[in-house]
Amino acid sequence: MRCKKILYWFTIFYFFNSNSLVAQINSIKSNTALSAEAASLLKNLLGISEKGFLFGHQDDLAYGVNWRYEKGRSDVKEVTGSFPALYGWDIGGIENENSTTNLDGIPFKKMKQFIQEGYQRGGVITISWHANSPLQNGKNAWDTTKGTVTSILPGGSNHELYKSWLNRVALFLVGLKGEHGELIPILFRPFHEHTGSWFWWGKSACSNFEYITLWRFTHYYLQNEKKLNNLLWVYNTSGDVKSKEEYLERYPGDDMADVLSFDAYQYDDPLKNDWFVQSSQKMLRFLEELSEEKHKPFALAETGYEAIPYDKWWTETLLKTVADFKISFLLIWRNHGLASWNNKMHFYAPYKGHASSANFVDFYNHKKTIFESEAATEGMYK
């Protein structure tokens, strides 16, 4: 067993250091065998940033405020007349044997249908993964027990379990196909917000080296063992990173990531505190520099202001925060509605009749924002 572990760490060290630096710099792709559609999407994500950014919404087609699973509905569409250009989904729960729904109760069969619908209209798909703790039976992604990541790396006590999880992830992803049988390109965003300390893969629960090893093994397994050539890998931090150097501390390498991103939410009154704008723009500045250096698109992968109490937040806060930067996309979080955990409304996009709806239409009409109707004419997969 000791020899096996020594061999494992030697293999990981070699695997991590054997990539040609020149090759990494000269290629924006983490997978040279990308499908034609995925390669086109990656190219067009860079290109679209010269014009504007794709607007996205989590779980947009599945439910909204006061409705659930009604065909053709979307809170975003009912306010603006267009679906979002980017659809966010989460596969947390898929790691559980015989699980039929994700952590938010969406049946995976319905999710598959929604993903196919959005793709066929020309929309872009992004998927995150709030995986349960593999070390603590019954604990969710927010368990922060140290040693969890170590346990699922090669040689760890839960490594075979983790591979079984990846097999189920791959089985779901390989089933996402367009009308011509092609695999739908996915912006895959695993182990997100890793610079925070609230997930089992976060900075307080694992070392930088362990995180990088986890990412590289996961990438290797899904790409090389499961032959998934439709994934674009989105590296994602929380929104409190202070510098390029800190942002790259857990970066798995140019050969392992396709998109650079971070998550940032508005928590306080923007009329009294400009923390959201200032901190987000600081990150956007150095991400734009990294984007140019590495020839990779960058994005605000999660954002929003819960219940949107400031009715002009869309143009006076969010748009002013991002408009001067060449981001490829941003995504706001989901419209759950009345939350059982605190008996408050939990939503991030306006619904018809909401006080910020008029301002959201102004946001929609701005030259920098790209919704699905416009993204479809751009041809993101050509």
Return the pLDDT at 21.
33
Q: Measure the CA–CA gap between 256 and 199, rounded to whole angstroms.
A: 21
- Residue that wins the pLDDT comparison between 288 and 23: 288
Q: In this structure, which amino acid lies at residue 224?
A: N
**E strand residue ranges, the chain:** 53-58, 63-64, 67-68, 86-90, 124-129, 186-190, 231-237, 259-266, 298-305, 329-332, 337-338, 345-346, 369-370
- The whole-number pLDDT of residue 137 equals 76
pLDDT, tens digit, for every residue of 179-209? Answer: 999 999 999 999 999 999 999 999 999 999 9
Structure-token pair, residue 357: 């709806």
When pLDDT is averaged across residues 111-132 and rounded to a whole number, the result is 98
Least Cα distance to 233 among 256, 214, 253, 204 occurs for 256
pLDDT bucket at 11, cuts 50 / 70 / 90: very low
Q: What whole-number distance in Å separates Cα of residue 29 and Cα of residue 24?
A: 8
Distance, CA of 144 to CA of 319 (rounded, Å): 34
Query: Is 29 a residue whose pLDDT tops 70?
Result: no
- State percent of the chain over pLDDT 70: 92
Per the CB < 8 A criterion, the answer to whether 169 and 222 are in contact is yes
Topology (CATH level 3) of domain 43-378: TIM Barrel (3.20.20)
**pTM recorded for the entire structure:** 0.93
- Please answer whether residues 31 and 231 qualify as being in contact, where contact means their C-beta atoms are separated by less than 8 angstroms: yes
Query: Does residue 168 come out as left (phi exceeding 0), alpha (psi in the -120 to 50 range) or beta?
Result: alpha
For 98, the token pair is 């015989």
The answer to whether 261 and 303 have CB atoms below 8 angstroms apart is no
212-254 pLDDT per residue, tens? 999 999 999 999 999 999 999 999 999 999 999 999 999 999 9
Bigger pLDDT: 367 vs 138: 367
Mean pLDDT of the residues in the chain: 93
Whole-angstrom Cα distance, residue 247 to residue 240? Answer: 10
8 Å CB contact between 202 and 193: yes
Give 71's Cβ-side CA count (13 Å radius). Answer: 1
Q: What is the pLDDT of residue 278?
A: 97
